[in-house]
Structures are given as C-alpha cells and as structure tokens.
C-alpha cells in the first residue's frame, strides 16, 4: 500500500508521494534527526517477499552509496519499515528539485547546444566516478538523468548496476533485469532504445555499454528525437544492431562537427571502436566546451563580404590617420625593448580579405616594409591596399 502523509518510521516522517517507478515508490520526507528534507524510496509490500527484487533494491542502494560524487544521487540510509500489512525495504537519499531529461524531452524539442554540452560533461564525470569504482550503470537513459533547478546533473537508479570486479559486500546481490516502462523483463538488461548492441545480444556488458547509452542521450539532446526508435520493439532492437541513427542536423542547428564526431564514436556498434573510458569521453567534451566559447565569439563577429567591404572603405577614408597610427605603433614596438620571455619558434599565417594585398614600395613617399613585428614576437602591424587605396590594420 502507498504510504500516507504523516507516516513515521525511524527519524523519517512522510510528507507526500512524488513518484512511482518500476523499482518502487518515492516520497518526500522529513529527517527529524538532522532537520532536513529527504527522498524515501520504498519497495511496495507486494514485492517484499520477492527475494530477487529485494536483492536488486538493496544493490541499488549499495552501488549508489559507494559513489560519493556531485553528479551521482547521494544515498543516506537504508532499512526496512514494518507496517500492518507487512514490511517494506526503503532507501533514503538526497531530495532533488527539478526534472529528469525524459520530462524535459516530452516537448520533442532539442536542447540548446551549450546546455547539451554542459549536461553531457556532467554525465561523463558521474560515469567516470562510477567506472573508477568498478560499477557499470547498464540502464543509463533520460529518465535516470536528473537536472536540478540550478543546472546540476544527477545520475539516478543503479538498480541494474554491475560490478566489473565483484566486491565482497555486493557478492550476494544478483543482477536482474529491471521492469520500468519500455523495458523487457527477463529478456534483456536495460531499456529499449538506450541499450548497446552487446546488451541486445545478451553478451557481457562493461563500462563501454554506458558510453553507448551516453551517446544515445547526447544524440537526443541535440536532435530532439531518439537515436534508435522503430514502430515495434523488434524494429528498435534491429536498428540498434544494424543501423546508424539519422544524421544530426549539424548545419541547421550549428552543431560543431567535432561534437557530431563524439556522438558517432559513442554509438559505434563494436565496443572497441567507442571511447575506451568515460574519462577520455569527458576530456573530449571538456576540450570542446572550452573551444566552443572562443569559436562562438569569433563566429559572432564574422562579417559578411558586403559589410567587410564597407568597413574597409571606412578605414581607407581615414588613410592618413591610420597610416600614422600603424607606423607610430611599429616605431613604438621597435623602440620599446622588452626581455624575450619565450624563445620558442612561432609560425602564423594571415588571410587578407579578397582583393586586398600587402602594400609594397613607397608609402607616403617613404620606402617602408608593410609588416612590422615587435621584438618579443607577440605583436604585428601591417599595411594593406585595395584598388590603389591604402589601408592600415
């Protein structure tokens, strides 16, 4: 039976039910001992006699409790509550305010690129922490990724978690299929649409299985649709095994090609072709997010040809002032001697606008070089011309 508001057990007092899933019912509760709000997940009494379900329920708690990471749901306590109609195992965890990615996807709209990359980086960090402890999630999907109101990502539900190297504390906990919506109990381990090819085939799964599932989530964040989805379960499973997802809308959504390549690598059919660790995946995403800031800034200031020409002619309208400024800058750079801090050889190339070229020969009646480099090699002044008109840059 469902717990009612006011029900007390141990230091916990139930406030209200906030969710129901394949692995239990979730309630908002008050921890009277520590004066804080918590989430209490209970296994309904109708399942309390099912040894396999109880073992999986306990395994979820132990797997999550072994992971102390800001991107993984924190577990505080585990126990059993005795009621008039029987006993129910429970897990106490931190209370989250926000929504799951599955709830956010209900509108069928993709996420902004920057936000998708931010969430992806946080998911990768959580997976890295789990994998370093030898724990594979095996049921990573949007419903198990929670986004708090302040944008923090929390990975939920380790009910299918598998230890790559079994720990003594978890050795007795069997790994069994979950049964939330869209999951086929007793046939495959995972959730249809987010499973890896090896899961579909019933083969052993390792950390690269989570990386494949991660790829399906990132694809959905960017495309606004599932990577693998057929009219029937069989169609979906066949797509996972044999088909590639539809191309991401790179041009339409201005998705960086490097991000598309990350998705493609995560979704490789063979585990050896994917990222070999969540750490490597996170590194690639971190590098992309770092570069995207500067790339977007440059993209935001790119000029159309006509606008660039107008700017060029505006500059030439004050040619004499610009020339004096450029040459004065060059003179200053040559007369200001600074110690060379870095003796490395540097190479660069300069792409001038179409129709422009470096000025050569006499300029204002004086022979000068069109390029001037500062003594420390960090600054450059140049003079260019177009259609007989000089331009200083």
Say what the pTM is.
Answer: 0.67
Same domain, 56 and 163: no
pLDDT value at residue 160: 61
296 assigned to some structural domain = yes
1 assigned to some structural domain = no
End residue of a domain, out of 94, 110, 143: 94
Same domain, 224 and 121: yes
Which tens digit of pLDDT belongs to each residue from 90-127? 889 999 999 999 999 988 899 999 999 999 999 999 99
End residue of a domain, out of 50, 67, 94: 94
Same domain, 58 and 149: no
On the question of pLDDT at 15 being above 50, the answer is yes
End residue of a domain, out of 244, 271, 300: 300
Q: 1-23: b or e for each residue (b if 16 or more CB lie within 10 Å)?
A: eebeeebebeebebbebeeebbb
Which tens digit of pLDDT belongs to each residue from 303-358? 333 333 433 333 334 333 343 344 444 444 444 444 444 445 555 556 666 666 76
Same domain, 149 and 185: yes
Domain region containing 358: 305-392
What residues are annotated to the active site?
Answer: 139
The answer to whether 253 and 263 are in contact (CB under 8 A) is no
pLDDT value at residue 379: 63
Q: In the predicted model, what is the mean pLDDT of the chain?
A: 76
Same domain, 337 and 263: no
The answer to whether 162 and 198 are in contact (CB under 8 A) is no
2 assigned to some structural domain = no
CATH of residue 190: 1.10.510.10
Q: Which helix (H) or strand (E) holds 255?
A: none
226 assigned to some structural domain = yes
Least confident segment among 88-102, 182-196, 282-296: 182-196
pLDDT value at residue 205: 87
Using CB atoms within 10 Å of the CB of residue 236, give its burial: 0 to 12 exposed, 13 to 18 middle, 19+ buried.
buried
pLDDT category of residue 154 using cuts at 50, 70 and 90? very high
Give the chain's domain count.
Answer: 3
């Amino acid at each position: 039976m469902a717990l009612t508001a006011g029900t007390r057990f141990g230091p916990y007092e139930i406030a209200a039910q906030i969710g129901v899933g394949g692995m239990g019912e979730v309630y908002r509760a008050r921890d009277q001992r520590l004066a804080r709000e918590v989430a209490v997940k209970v296994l309904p009494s109708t399942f309390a006699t099912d040894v396999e379900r109880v073992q999986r329920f306990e395994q979820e708690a132990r797997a999550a409790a072994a992971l102390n990471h800001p991107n993984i749901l924190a577990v505080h306590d585990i126990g059993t509550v005795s009621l008039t109609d029987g006993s129910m195992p429970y897990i106490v965890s931190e209370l989250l305010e926000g929504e799951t990615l599955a709830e956010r996807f209900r509108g069928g709209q993709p996420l902004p690129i920057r936000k998708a990359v931010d969430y992806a980086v946080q998911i990768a960090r959580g997976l890295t922490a789990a994998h370093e402890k030898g724990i594979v999630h095996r049921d990573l999907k949007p419903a198990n990724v929670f986004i708090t109101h302040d944008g923090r990502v929390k990975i939920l539900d380790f009910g299918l978690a598998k230890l790559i190297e079994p720990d003594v504390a978890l050795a007795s906990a069997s790994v069994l299929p979950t049964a939330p919506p869209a999951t086929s109990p007793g046939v495959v381990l995972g959730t249809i649409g987010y499973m890896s090819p090896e899961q579909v085939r019933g083969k052993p799964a390792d950390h690269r299985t989570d990386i494949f599932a991660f790829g399906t989530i990132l694809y959905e964040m960017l495309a606004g649709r599932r990577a693998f989805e057929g009219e029937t379960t069989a169609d979906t499973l066949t797509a996972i095994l044999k088909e590639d997802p539809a191309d991401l809308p790179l041009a339409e959504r201005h998705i960086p090609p490097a991000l598309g390549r990350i998705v493609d690598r995560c979704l490789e059919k063979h585990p050896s072709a994917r990222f070999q660790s969540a750490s490597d995946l996170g590194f690639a995403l971190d590098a992309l997010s770092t570069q995207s800031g500067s790339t977007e800034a440059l993209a935001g200031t790119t000029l159309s040809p006509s606008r660039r020409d107008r700017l060029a002619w505006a500059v030439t309208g004050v040619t004499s002032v610009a020339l004096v400024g450029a040459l004065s800058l060059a003179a200053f750079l040559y007369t200001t001697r600074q110690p060379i801090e870095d003796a490395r050889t540097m190479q660069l190339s300069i792409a001038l606008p179409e129709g422009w070229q470096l000025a050569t020969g006499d300029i204002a009646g004086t022979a000068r070089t069109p390029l001037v480099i500062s003594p420390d090699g960090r600054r450059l002044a140049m003079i260019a011309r177009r259609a007989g008109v000089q331009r200083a840059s």
